[in-house]
A and B are shown apart, each in its own frame.
Chain A
Amino acid sequence: MSLKSASTKLTSRFNSLTRRHLEWIFNATTTRPRAVLYSFFVALLLSIAVICTTRFDADIFQLFPTRQPALKLLLDSLQWTGSANEAYFLLEGDREALPREAEKFAERLRLAQVDGRAAFRRITWRVFDESEAAAFNEFIAYAVTRPQLFIGPKDVPGLLQRFSPASMDDSLRRIRTDLAGQFGGAMTGMASADPLYLRDLILPRLKAGSQALDLDPASPYFLSRDGKVLIMIAEPARPVQDMVFARSLVTAINQARQGSTVAISCAGAHISAVLDEAAMKSNIVACILSSLVVVLAIFYAVYRRILPTLLLPLIIAVGVALALGVAGLLLPSIHIISFAFMALIIGLGTDYSIHLYDRFHTERAAGTAPDEALRLAVVDTGHSLFTAATTTAMPFFALMISDVRALSELGLLVGLGVIFSLYATFFFLPPLLVYMERRFPADYRPIPGLGMRGVWRFAGRFPRAVVTVSIAAILLMAITSTRTFFDGELKNLQPRHSDAFLAQEKIERHLSLAPKQLLVAVEGKELADVLRRSARIDELAGQWRSKGSISSWSSLGQIINNRDRQIEISRSISERNGGGLPVAELNGALARQGFESGPFQAFISAISSGSIMAPVPEEEAIARLKASPLRGVADRHLIKDASGYHSLTFLYYKDTGFDQGAFLRELTKIDPTARVTGVDLVSSQLAAAVKQSFLWSFLIGGLLVLFLLLSHFDSPSGVFYAMFPVIAGSLAMLGIMALCGMGLNFMNAMVLVTIIGMGSDYGLHIRHRLEVSDTQEREGRFIQAGRAVLLSALTTIAGFGSLALADYPALASIGWATNFGVGFTALFALVTLPAVIIIGIKRNE
């Protein structure tokens, strides 16, 4: 048996099964409509029950594969450092007004309540809190007697200089002046703990290491250097996952913001979750409602029948409900952004009603009896609809292999929605038409051609010109499409006008140390090992800093010295000074400057006992830091959890001059187990995952579509007619997007898959209806099929393409890509394809 005969047999078998299935549907819907409707009603109830028990997520990070190393570390670090649970408030105004307004706002936040309890656990807006003065003095007393732990090697000469007799006298005179300038003896504790002002060598390094934001060093507040923005950080009382709390929290924040004379914007996980959810919901709802209205208006304007028009929302609702119900059984939860699929179903689901009703109406207008007109609509047109729906659904189902939840979930929902919309059309529309024939018999007048007659005749008169111009346009677009780029910036997918997004932009503009940040995590069970490996990262960062490739970096190694560095500093002190530090000289200086020696003996004894010569265990140093007001420094750079220690190094760099790939290669050489994350890295890894998903989905979906088309048509030319508009439309879509400066992104890339399935329908319907030899009849059939295709394209654009108007860039990018893709595919199907067919017919004649 040859391949051709096998293919023919397969096609014949497939078409036979499809026809029998459609005949069964026709019989069932026309002879037992009540049973059909009851069955659907039961299925609908079951779906609603499943939907009610389905969990819906709003966290945008859950849309992406968390097993991607960079994203996983990013999420881990947000959890470790508490950033994932913090709220940020940006106050904008003049330098003088900001602290005053910050005080008032902080007080209002302190008083803010959710469910009768304080909304925030902690509100921080000042660099130093006076209530921690005693703890600070205690830490200084510890630090100055162990300078080897905190100073850099270059500070050793400065340290030794402070122990010279003349310098000791200077320091003690300075203490007397400080004491005189105070009320009472407020600073006696600090003076006796650090009589030689060794803290001047220690604190700048601690301060530099603790800085995560670019702040005005002269301000006691978290104030930007330009003095225009003051940031407050607050820790909400409950985690971000508690969406009910998050919504109440945002309400409380909005109340606290009222009455302020400076602008206050806020960011953070709670705010983003609530605002993003609200933005997504309002965008999606607005798109769904507007597209539904437009789709119904188009349908009614063309066919002028009220009941079929009113049936459309029911078909769409049933299709969506059944899809959600089945998806709810298959998925642990559904992301709220996936509801965008409803807009697509509005566009796609309506297509089947258009084709079915258009055929029925056309047949009735031509004088065909009602039963026969309905049979032709369900069985004949239904056949191409069946193939069209499956070719649309399959590429979407193929998206389910994607790692990216946004794509796999949307693929499943759209695929199911398309299938269920088709069956809702098959089962609901015929009984309605039978009912209308009996109760409201109407005079079926010919439907307007919507310009399709002119298109057919124009293509028939100038077929070669049309084809030539089309080919030229396709080639031009193909060349332009080579400039298509992938926009992997996640930020570009966020709602542009949301408070959280704008606040984040202001933080980057006014407070960021550098535009970009890279985080390196060194992990292990033993602290000493982790810190030793981190020190090597510090060396690498230092090299990159010295050659100007990064702006700065911060790590625990920049704040406290590891054992090796401590030994090096102690040895340097010993070598330069011929032993320990000459602290005994301090007693003489104290006597000379009129001080009692007793209060200073703790300092003198500690230095004399050689505290400066022995390395301090890292655990002890970190415990001391965590017990001090500087605990944030330790918390930011070292985390301990059940899996061990995580030492974090933050590298700050500009857009240019930092070769991330080269840095990662060098990093891998010195520590292959180190993990790295950063927005650029997350984006690039996600982009790779998305590209891979699309490649596979494209291939699998393409093969499935090809198989279905081969099963539908008797000849390969049928496949060509179905696929030509798709390929031409896709190239034109990419070309126009490139010309408009629009890139593909994580979301709109799915439109390419959509176009394969959906766009092939247009050519399929045209080709399916033009399989006759009579020229006159061919024109009439083209008008009918072309009109339905045009209406399908319009309803799809009104449905899915309406997302282009959304404020949410992720949705808007899908809308624009759809508009371009569907628009061009329809154009090539309705104008170029008839010309090609006519050339083929003339050649055969």
Chain B
Amino acid sequence: MTVKQVRVFALVLWTSLLTSAPGHARTISPLEGLEALRRGFAGLSDFTADITQEKRLSLMKRTMVMNGSLRFKKPDLFFMEIAPPFSSRMLLKDSVIEQVSGKDKTPNRIVLPPEQGLKQWFVKLSAPITSLPDGVDVQADLTNAVYSVTISPQGKGQVKDISILFLADGTIKKLIINERNGDRATMTLKKVRRNVGLSERDFRLE
């Protein structure tokens, strides 16, 4: 599992759950936590949301705070826009990431391996989860009505773990990405609108 893929997948899961997953106040196993995440996708075709992201990076003296918005459409379209002063746009089409930053007009393009494409993950989540996925450790708990599912990729990748925090009623509290170099990013969603009928035209960089 690679850095970008884990991040993209976790973000999509988290934001999708916000729109649909029912909450249950009880102790859960890792498998139950993942199954709760999976169920959150049922009935979801797309959504939009505003975001606030906080990044604590080893390169920066202070925490960076940025606002923006994102859109998602099943099975493989994801778009995120960051507002000034860090203006940038990012589009993920299955396994191809295109990004435009600042004044640049030519997109930077990165191709993920096919097996890490967004669509592959939704295929995996189409059936009930009966075993933990390969290549990751999963931890889940339920504390004071907040679910917490933490996914830790095995190996020596840059990402140490990704935690998704959500309430029993399906409201996502936080998405936290911890990296091995100590960097940490937290994203919060607001004004979530689900199944608004997004089309492919809403997923363009220009």
Report whether B111 and A177 are in contact in the complex, using a CB–CB cutoff of 8 Å: no
A218 to B7, CA, bound (A): 25
Inter-chain CA distance A739–B198, complex, in Å, is: 67
**Pairwise interchain contact A180-B64, C-beta atoms closer than 8 A:** yes
Cα–Cα, bound, A175→B177 (Å): 20
The CA of A181 and the CA of B85, in the complex, are separated in Å by: 11
* Chain A residues numbered 338-369 whose CB sits less than 8 Å from any CB in chain B: none
In the complex, what's the smallest C-beta–C-beta distance from B64 to chain A, in angstroms? 6
Asked if residues A177 and B88 are in contact (CB atoms below 8 Å), the reply is yes
Kindly identify which residue among B82, B158, B184 contacts A186, using a CB–CB cutoff of 8 Å.
Answer: B158
- Do the beta carbons of A185 and B185 come within 8 Å of each other? yes
Q: Which residues of A contact B82 (CB under 8 A)?
A: 180-181
Give the complex CA separation of A779 and B3 in angstroms: 97
Q: Is the CB of A130 within 8 A of B2?
A: yes
Contact B177 A220 (CB under 8 A): no
User: Chain A nearest CB: distance from B120 CB in Å?
Assistant: 10
- B66 to chain A: which residues have CB within 8 Å? 180
Q: Is A178 an interface residue (CB 8 A)?
A: yes
Q: Is the CB of A185 within 8 A of B58?
A: yes
**Minimal Cβ-Cβ distance residue in B for A189:** B158
Q: Which residues of chain B come closer than 8 Å to A185, judged between CB atoms? A: 55, 57-59, 158, 179, 181, 183, 185
Kindly report which residue of chain A lies nearest to residue B94, judged by CB atoms: A100
A577-591 interface with B by 8 A CB criterion:
none
Docked-complex contact A220 and B114, CB < 8 angstroms: no
Supposing A176-B86, A181-B99 touch, asked if A188 and B181 sit within 8 A by C-beta, the answer is yes
List CB contacts (< 8 Å) of B45-90 with chain A.
53, 55, 57-62, 64, 66, 80, 82, 85-90
Query: B197 within 8 Å of A by Cβ?
Result: no
Residue of A nearest to B88 (CB): A181
Question: How distant is the Cα of A99 from the Cα of B113 in the complex, in angstroms?
Answer: 12
**Are A181 and B90 interface neighbours, CB within 8 A?**
yes
**Bound state CA distance, A726 and B91, in angstroms?**
76
Cross-chain contact A184 with B185 (CB below 8 angstroms): yes
- Min C-beta distance of A3 to chain B, whole Å: 85
Q: How far is the CA of A221 from the CA of B110 in the complex (A)?
A: 10
State in angstroms the CA–CA spacing of A219 and B100 once bound together.
Answer: 15
Residues of A within 8 Å of B110, CB to CB, are 128, 130, 220
Q: How far is the CB of B5 from chain A (nearest CB, A)?
A: 9
Q: How far is the CA of A175 from the CA of B101 in the complex (A)?
A: 10
CA distance A179 to B179 in the complex (A): 14
Asked whether B113 lies within 8 Å of A130 as measured between CB atoms, the reply is yes
Docked Cα-Cα span, A182 to B159, in Å, equals 13
Tell whether B109 is near chain A: CB-to-CB under 8 Å: yes
A596 lies within 8 A of B61 (CB):
yes
Which residues on B sit within 8 Å (CB–CB) of A126?
111
Q: Counting CB contacts under 8 A, is A141 at the interface?
A: no
Chain A positions within 8 Å of B183 at CB level: 184-185, 188
CA distance A189 to B2 in the complex (A): 15
Contacts of B90 in A (CB 8 A): 181-182
The CA-CA distance from A189 to B58 in the complex, in Å, is 10
Q: Mark A215-253, 1 if CB is under 8 A from B, else 0.
A: 000101100000000000000000000000000000000
B87 nearest in chain A by CB position: A177
A444 adjacent to chain B (CB < 8 Å): no
Shortest Cβ distance from A221 into B: residue: B111
B112 is an interface residue with CB less than 8 A from chain A? yes
Nearest B residue to A594 via CB reads B61
List residues 185-222 of chain A with CB under 8 A from any CB of chain B.
Answer: 185-186, 188-189, 191-192, 218, 220-221
Using CB atoms, name the residue of chain B closest to A220.
B111
Taking a contact as CB atoms under 8 Å apart, the answer to whether B4 and A130 are in contact is yes
Interface residue? A103 (CB, 8 A): yes
B181 cross-chain contacts in A, Cβ below 8 A: 185, 188
Chain A interface size band reads 35 or more
Q: Is A107 an interface residue (CB 8 A)?
A: yes
User: Which of B62, B89, B96, B184 is in CB contact (< 8 Å) with A594?
Assistant: B62
The minimal Cβ–Cβ distance linking A194 to chain B, given in whole angstroms, is: 13
Does B136 touch A at the CB level, under 8 Å? no
A340 to chain B, nearest CB (A): 47
Closest chain B residue to A195 by CB distance? Answer: B59
User: Is B168 part of the binding interface, using a Cβ–Cβ cutoff of 8 Å?
Assistant: no
Bound complex: CA of A487 vs CA of B115, how far in Å? 50
Assembled-state Cα–Cα distance A175/B90 (Å) = 16
The closest CB in chain A to the CB of B178 belongs to: A184
Q: Whole-angstrom distance between the alpha carbons of A126 and B184 in the complex?
A: 31
| A residues in contact with B101, CB < 8 Å | 174, 177-178, 181
Q: How far is the CB of A110 from chain B (nearest CB, A)?
A: 10
How far, in angstroms, from A609 to B184 measured CA to CA in the complex? 33
Contact A131 B8 (CB under 8 A): no
CB of B59 within 8 A of CB of A188, answer yes
A179 touches B55 (CB 8 A): yes
Chain A residues near B112 (CB-CB < 8 A):
130
Are B177 and A178 in contact (CB-based, < 8 A)?
Answer: no
Contact A220 B109 (CB under 8 A): yes
B135 is an interface residue with CB less than 8 A from chain A: no
Interface positions of A from 119 to 139, Cβ below 8 Å from B: 126-131
* Closest chain B CB from A111 CB (angstroms): 12
Which residues of A433-455 have CB atoms within 8 Å of chain B's CB atoms?
Answer: none
Shortest beta-carbon distance from B108 to chain A in Å: 9
B138 interfacial contact with A, CB 8 Å? no
Find chain B residues with CB under 8 A from A594 CB.
60-62
**A101–chain B nearest beta-carbon distance, Å:** 11
B176: shortest Cβ distance to chain A, in Å? 10
A183 interface residue (CB < 8 Å to B): yes
Q: Given contacts A177-B102, A220-B109, is CB(A183)–CB(B59) below 8 Å? A: no
Q: Complex: how many Å from CA A40 to CA B185?
A: 90
Contact (A183, B86) CB under 8 Å given A128-B111, A131-B113? no
Query: Hey, which chain B residues are within 8 Å of A192, CB to CB?
Result: 59
- CA–CA, A794 to B2, complex, Å? 73
Contact with A along B125-165 (1 / 0, CB 8 A): 00000000000000000000000000000000011000000
Q: Judging by beta carbons under 8 Å apart, are A183 and B2 in contact?
A: no
Q: Min CB distance, A140 to chain B, in Å?
A: 14
Bitwise interface map of B from 2 to 28 toward A, beta carbon under 8 Å scored 1, else 0 = 111001100100000000000000000
The reply to whether the CB of A24 lies closer than 8 angstroms to some CB of chain B is: no
Q: How far is the CA of A184 from the CA of B163 in the complex (A)?
A: 13
* Residues from chain B with Cβ under 8 Å of A466 in the complex: none
| Docked CA distance A176–B57 (Å) | 11
Determine the chain B residues whose CB is within 8 A of the CB of A179 once the complex forms.
55, 57, 59-60, 64, 86
Instruction: State whether A183 and B109 are in contact (beta carbons under 8 Å apart), knowing that A107-B114, A192-B59, A220-B96 are contacts in the complex.
Output: no
A188 to chain B, nearest CB (A): 5
How long is the Cα–Cα vector from A173 to B89 in the complex, in angstroms? 16
Most chain B Cβ neighbours within 10 Å, of A174, A175, A188: A188
The distance in angstroms between the C-alpha atoms of A188 and B89, with both chains bound, is 18
Residue in B11, B158, B181 whose Cβ sees the most chain A Cβ within 10 Å? B158
- Closest approach, in angstroms, between the C-beta of B129 and any C-beta of chain A? 23
Determine if A723 is an interface residue (Cβ-Cβ < 8 Å). Answer: no
Q: Is A814 an interface residue (CB 8 A)?
A: no
Best-buried of A174, A179, A189, A218 by chain B (most CB within 10 Å): A179
Give Cα distance in the complex from A184 to B184, angstroms. 6
Given contacts A177-B86, A177-B87, is CB(A183)–CB(B4) below 8 Å?
A: yes
Interface flag for A599 (CB, 8 Å): yes
Within the complex, what minimum Cβ distance (angstroms) separates A217 from chain B?
10
Q: Hey, which chain A residues are within 8 Å of B159, CB to CB?
A: 184
Bound state CA distance, A812 and B57, in angstroms?
Answer: 71
13 CB < 8 A contacts A-B: A129-B113, A130-B4, A177-B87, A177-B101, A178-B101, A179-B86, A181-B90, A184-B179, A185-B158, A186-B4, A220-B110, A220-B111, A595-B61
Would you list the 6 A-B pairs with minimal beta carbon distance, nearest first? A181-B88, A180-B86, A183-B7, A185-B183, A103-B114, A220-B111
Q: Known contacts A179-B57, A185-B158; can you find 15 more A-B pairs with CB under 8 A?
A: A127-B111, A128-B110, A131-B2, A175-B59, A180-B55, A181-B80, A184-B55, A184-B159, A185-B57, A185-B181, A188-B57, A188-B181, A594-B62, A595-B59, A595-B61
Residue numbers of A with Cβ under 8 A of B are: 99, 103, 106-107, 126-131, 173-186, 188-189, 191-192, 218, 220-221, 594-596, 599
